[in-house]
Each structure stands twice: as C-alpha cells, then as structure tokens.
Amino acid sequence: MVSYIFRRLVMLAPMLLGVSVAVFLVLHLIPGDPARMAAGPDATEADVQQIRVNYGLDRSLTHQYGIYLTKLLQGDLGESFQTLGPVTEGIARTFPATLELTIAGMLIAVLVGVPLGIYSALNPSGPADRLVTGIAVLGISMPGFFLGLMLMLVFASMLGWLPPTGRGTWAHLVLPSLTLGLPYVATFARLTRSSMLEVLTEDFIRTARAKGLSWWKVTYRHALRNASIPIVTVLGLDFSRLLGGAAIVETVFAWPGMGRYMVEAIMVRDIYVIQGTILVFAAAVVIINLFVDVIYGILDPRISYA
C-alpha cells in the first residue's frame, strides 16, 4: 500500500505539468490583452507597455512559460494583476473556505442520501421508495444557483433566520452548504438503494439472517459494507465536482472561497491567479482519488495494490 501511494504521488508531478501547459496556452491564445485589462480603461499606452514588461508579457510564449515553470518549481505561482500580491497568499487565504464549504456540502449529501437509500431498499415499491425516487428526480433536475436563490429568499429574506451572505459563524455556512449538498442527496439515495437491493439478495445475507443475527448487524455490518464500494467511488467523484463547482455557490452567497477568487480573476483575465487556482484544484482531485483508492482496501481486503 505504501509503495502504491508513493507511485501515485510521483505521478502527480507530470499531471500538474500537463495541466500547467494546457492552461498557460489557453489563457495566452484566447483573444484579448491581459496587460490592457489589468491597466484599466483610463491607462495610457505607456502604462500598458510597462505592465507587459513587468510581467514578461512582451516575450515569446516559450520564454514566458519557461519563466513561469521556473517560479512554479520554487513554489511561486506569480503575482496577481489586480492585488499586486502573491497568488500563493490569495490561495492560502481562500482555499480553507472552499474546503470548509465542500466538506459541509458532502456531509449533507451523505448523511441524508445514504440513510434514505437504505430505507428505500428495505421497503421497495412502498410509499417511502416512491418518495425517495421523486426527491431524487427533483434534486437532480434543479440547478444549484436557483436552489441557492430560493433558500436565500425563504430563510434569509422572508423568515430572517439565517444570514444571506458572507462567512464568519456557523449560521453563514448553512445556506451555502445546503445549496451545494442537497442536489447530491438524490445521487447518493439512488445509488445506495440500487447497491443495497443487489447485496440484500446475496447468499451470505440469507446465511446471516439464518444464523439469527440482528437486523442492525445484517443491514449495516454486512449489507452496507459490501454495498459501499460504488458509494465510495461516487463519493470521490462528487467531492471533486463539489470542490470545483463551489464557485457558483460562493458567488451567489458572497462566500470568500477559492472558486469565487478564480471567477473574479477570470472576469479581468488575471492569468496568474487563474493558473494557480486551476493547478490547486487539479492537485486536490488527484489526492481525493488516491484517498478513495486507499478506502477501497480498507472496505474490501481482497483488493490488492501490488
């Protein structure tokens, strides 16, 4: 297991190198002049040219990428055009907020969706099963930004129970995390239901019941553990989606996270901020997938990483 984790971490370097090349080329080949956007509408041509010189934008693409890669290997992601501060400081300031929101949203999705799926599987074709299926269709169909605006309208504007925007207390986390996590409740409910229905028909479940084991042990110790492999797989994929998709929720609720930081940089084409945030997101996805692979081995000892 240790050697497998080491190999996966070694593979992180060429993957990030490829991401950096792709993002660098896309940002420099799309129409528009980042130096002019950074200078502002009232800047003179001399000011724009000075910005190009200061950030090396007057040189060839290969030379610019060589400078960027050299700084990247030293842990320097460059400087923001807007704040004139290091991108690493901006990411260090905003990434914890995004991670907090993503974890809260995922906890809502799992802690609500998985029990709903289990209950639905234990009572197939009943009223609860049909209700879960209806909730699943509704959750998958509803856009995240619309759900966020509706929650803000009801709980912040009409009832006044929760703050509409910002970050500071636990109350500020409720609406954004619900907006982020509720659509994924449907995914986990449907997946848990189908996995549990398949496992509950296996011979070892009938054997466990014949031995007189309690309902709790049969359902959660035997059935759920064997049905959890696909759930964990989707959990890793959805966590990556939540991490990258938090930008919309952060924008709606003015949550000071890295997704909003990246969106604001895209609006003014702050290329170093965009490159840095995408690299961090890419590295986070690889680490999440590695963590999911390790959980596989814990849930099912038959899985080998030799």
Least reliable range by pLDDT among 87-101, 121-135, 192-206: 121-135
Which residue type, as a one-letter code, is found at position 290? L
CA distances to 75, 131, 224, 260 from 95, rounded to whole Å, are 16, 37, 33, 10
- Give the model confidence (pLDDT) of 256-273 as tens digits: 888 888 888 888 778 888
> 3-state secondary structure string, the chain?
CHHHHHHHHHHHHHHHHHHHHHHHHHHHHCCCCHHHHHHCCCCCHHHHHHHHHHCCCCCCHHHHHHHHHHHHHCCCCCECCCCCCEHHHHHHHHHHHHHHHHHHHHHHHHHHHHHHHHHHHHCCCCHHHHHHHHHHHHHHHCCHHHHHHHHHHHHHHHCCCCCCCCCCCHHHHHHHHHHHHHHHHHHHHHHHHHHHHHHCCCHHHHHHHHCCCCHHHHHHHHHHHHHHHHHHHHHHHHHHHHHHHHHHHHHHCCCCCHHHHHHHHHHHCCHHHHHHHHHHHHHHHHHHHHHHHHHHHHHCCCCCCC
The confidence score (pLDDT) of residue 306 equals: 55
Over pLDDT 70: what percentage of the chain? 88
Over pLDDT 90: what percentage of the chain? 1
Cα 136 from Cα 272, distance rounded (Å) = 40
Residue written as tokens 């807007």?
A: 82
The confidence score (pLDDT) of residue 267 equals: 81
Crossing angle of helices 271-299/258-268, nearest 10°?
150
The confidence score (pLDDT) of residue 62 equals: 83
Question: What average pLDDT does this structure show over 27-34?
Answer: 73
Cα 257 from Cα 229, distance rounded (Å) = 31
Question: What average pLDDT does this structure show over 227-237?
Answer: 80
The confidence score (pLDDT) of residue 304 equals: 58
The confidence score (pLDDT) of residue 297 equals: 67
pLDDT at 178 over 60: yes
User: Where in the chain are the domains?
Assistant: 2-73, 88-299
Residue scoring higher pLDDT (38 or 258): 258
- Give the model confidence (pLDDT) of 79-127 as tens digits: 887 777 888 888 999 899 998 999 998 898 888 888 888 887 777 776 7
Cα 103 from Cα 242, distance rounded (Å) = 9
- Give the model confidence (pLDDT) of 269-291 as tens digits: 788 888 888 888 888 888 887 77
The confidence score (pLDDT) of residue 56 equals: 74
- Give the model confidence (pLDDT) of 151-171 as tens digits: 888 888 888 888 888 787 888
pLDDT at 71 over 60: yes
Cα 210 from Cα 52, distance rounded (Å) = 77
pLDDT at 299 over 70: no
Contact between residue 276 and residue 77 where contact means Cβ atoms under 8 Å apart = yes
The confidence score (pLDDT) of residue 207 equals: 77
What's the mean per-residue pLDDT of the chain? 79
Cα 301 from Cα 36, distance rounded (Å) = 58
The confidence score (pLDDT) of residue 129 equals: 67
Pick the CATH number of 88-299 from 3.40.50.300, 3.50.50.60, 1.10.3720.10, 1.10.10.10: 1.10.3720.10
